[in-house]
Amino acid sequence: MDKAVDNMEAIIFAAGSGPKTGPDKTTAVDKNGAIQLVDASKKKGFERFVMLNSVGSDNPEQAQEEMRHYLEEKHDADEHLKASGLAYTIVRPVTLTNEQAIGKIFADEKVDHTDKSIPRADVAPSLPNLSQRKKRSIKHSRYSPAPSQSRWP
């Protein structure tokens, strides 16, 4: 992992094992991969880390059984990042889709995520901008206010 962070300007963890893998791959990628990248980033002297995670990873015990392991692994990665001493932003989008971008997001500390989704194409462009943001967690919702009212914490 040390070589992966060589010559980088910012670190963004946006990997995931995917919905069709087993618990072993979820642990290897979503937890251990994230933890290894956090550690390598700290070792190389990075000051900031952006973690793309999942809505619900802040309270995995409240998840339905089929999502619990995934969210527990994501939660553990978040907790490791928080304890690392790095400045960080954790992004917890609602359900990601492959739909065409709509060109806006709503971001806040708390978002009612029930039955909401957002295109990956709207989340991805927001991540590089977060490398300069303050420490915080952000949840995304595709149901955003008009652009003039949008907030980006």
Count the residues in the chain.
153
CA atoms of 26 and 22, how far apart (whole Å): 6
Contacts for 127 with CB less than 8 Å, ≥ 6 apart = 12, 14, 50, 52, 91
- Residues 6+ positions from 124 with CB-CB distance below 8 Å: 14
CA distance 51 to 11: 9
User: Cα 10 from chain centroid?
Assistant: 15
Q: Active-site residue 70, yes or no?
A: yes
Helix-strand-coil percent breakdown of the chain, rounded to 5?
A: 40, 20, 40
Point out the catalytic residue in the list 70, 73, 89, 142.
70
Indicate which residues carry an active-site annotation: 70
